[in-house]
Amino acid sequence: MSHLGGPLDTSGMLAVGPPGGPLRARGRPRTAVRSTLVAVVSTVVVFGILVWITVNAPGWAEVQVSFFNATVFTNAFPDIVAAFSLNIQLFAIAEVLILVLALALAVFRSLPGPVFFPLRFLATIYADIFRAVPGVLVIYILGFGIPGLGLPGIPTDPFPYAVIALTLIYSAYVSEVYRAGIESVHPSQEAAARSLGLSRLQALRYVILPQAVRRVIPPLLNDFIGLQKDTVLVSYIGVVEIFRQSQITQQAKFNYTPYMATALVFIAVTIPLARLTDILVSRDRRRAAASAR
């Protein structure tokens, strides 16, 4: 497998296209047709070899039965899709909270002057800690620790803790994305805004943030692809979402096909988002090229 890594990577990039393809094609338009041909041929060859190796492996018959069982798949699929609605809820609620919390953190970190030092300091510590601690640990600590305090009126249902944990983890990353966007807006924009009499906060709100947010939409979407997948981590604190559901079915049937069904669901949801991100990235690149005279 390791010796296949090289050629597989290259052909994969050429075949999939959007990330590397258009850029190459744009650099050398004359060779675009030939590149496409090479890509198709090399993809077919590489995948052909991979399939051949898999199907001729000594354990293939057993793997086929325990991972690709049509009956188990058909029976388990409705339950798995139903459980996925919980992942969607987690994702949807957490995403909104993340967008707000992360923006606040990024703004705190970009405030200049000694007066705002405590806010900058707290926001920095926050980003450091939540990027350092593995997500699963945050989920465990919150999901078992907070209810374990036994405080009156505190929810025992794991769902809110799952949402809070995902929000805390991802806000640390997303705040860095926002911050990069804020820093990418040229200082002359702030100078222009301030020179018209706008206050620092007005300049941030009307001039800098709108430009910053527009620029970071592709990396934001990228983080949300990660969030979508990481919703399965909250299964550890007893939320019966898609992964937990597939585990239950797997243990009942002694068959791994439910995991394959789960993987399929994620692929179906993630690929459109990934392509949308690619489209936005290339549109941004074109726009940047057009405005650079």
Partner 1 sequence: MGGEGSRGAAPAATTPALVVEGVHKSFGQLEVLAGIDLTVAQHEVVCLIGASGSGKSTLLRCVNLLEPLDAGRIVVAGEDICAPGVDVNRVRRRIGIVFQAFNLFPHMSVLDNVTLAPRKVLHLAPAEATTRALALLERFGLADKQREFPDRLSGGQQQRVAIVRALAMEPGLLLLDEVTSALDPELVAEVLAVIRELARGGMTMLIATHEMGFARDIANRVCFLDAGRILEDGPPEQMFRAPRAERTQRFLQRVMEAGRL
- Give 112's contacts (C-beta < 8 A, 6+ positions apart): 200
Question: 6 or 114: whose CB is closer to partner 1?
Answer: 114
Question: 82 or 191: whose CB is closer to partner 1?
Answer: 191
Range 139-198, binding partner 1 (CB under 8 A): 188-189, 191-198
CB of 188 to partner 1, least distance (A): 5
CB of 265 to partner 1, least distance (A): 37
Question: 2 or 188: whose CB is closer to partner 1?
Answer: 188
CB of 252 to partner 1, least distance (A): 55
Question: 184 or 251: whose CB is closer to partner 1?
Answer: 184
First and final CA of the chain: distance in angstroms?
47
Residue of 207, 216, 234, 261 interacting with partner 1 (CB under 8 A): 207
Q: Are 199 and 251 a contacting pair, CB within 8 Å?
A: no
CA atoms within 13 A on the CB side of 42: 18
Residue of 202, 275, 279, 286 interacting with partner 1 (CB under 8 A): 202
Q: Are 162 and 143 a contacting pair, CB within 8 Å?
A: yes
Residue of 2, 56, 156, 291 interacting with partner 1 (CB under 8 A): 291
Interface characters, 122-141, with partner 1 (x: CB under 8 A): --------------------
Question: 86 or 103: whose CB is closer to partner 1?
Answer: 103
Question: 85 or 199: whose CB is closer to partner 1?
Answer: 199
Residue 57 is given by DSSP the state: S
Q: Are 73 and 260 a contacting pair, CB within 8 Å?
A: yes
User: Binding-site residue total for partner 1 (CB under 8 A)?
Assistant: 19
The span of 47-55, 143-151, 209-217, 243-251 binding partner 1 (CB under 8 A) equals: 209-217
Question: 24 or 194: whose CB is closer to partner 1?
Answer: 194
Range 260-279, binding partner 1 (CB under 8 A): none
Q: Are 250 and 83 a contacting pair, CB within 8 Å?
A: no
d(CA 139, CA 147): 12
- Give 248's contacts (C-beta < 8 A, 6+ positions apart): 240
CB of 184 to partner 1, least distance (A): 13
Token pair listed for 19: 């990330």
Comparing C-alpha atoms, which of 82, 257, 95, 256 is closest to residue 163? Answer: 95
Asked if 211 touches partner 1 (CB under 8 A), the answer is yes
CB of 206 to partner 1, least distance (A): 6
d(CA 58, CA 52): 12
CB of 195 to partner 1, least distance (A): 5
Q: Are 250 and 259 a contacting pair, CB within 8 Å?
A: yes
| Residue with token string 């620790």 | 145
Question: 34 or 186: whose CB is closer to partner 1?
Answer: 186
Q: How many C-beta atoms surround the C-beta of residue 288 within 10 A?
A: 10
Helices and strands (H, E) in the chain, number of each type: 14, 0
Provide the binding-site residues for partner 1, judged by CB under 8 A. 188-189, 191-199, 202, 206-207, 210-211, 214, 290-291
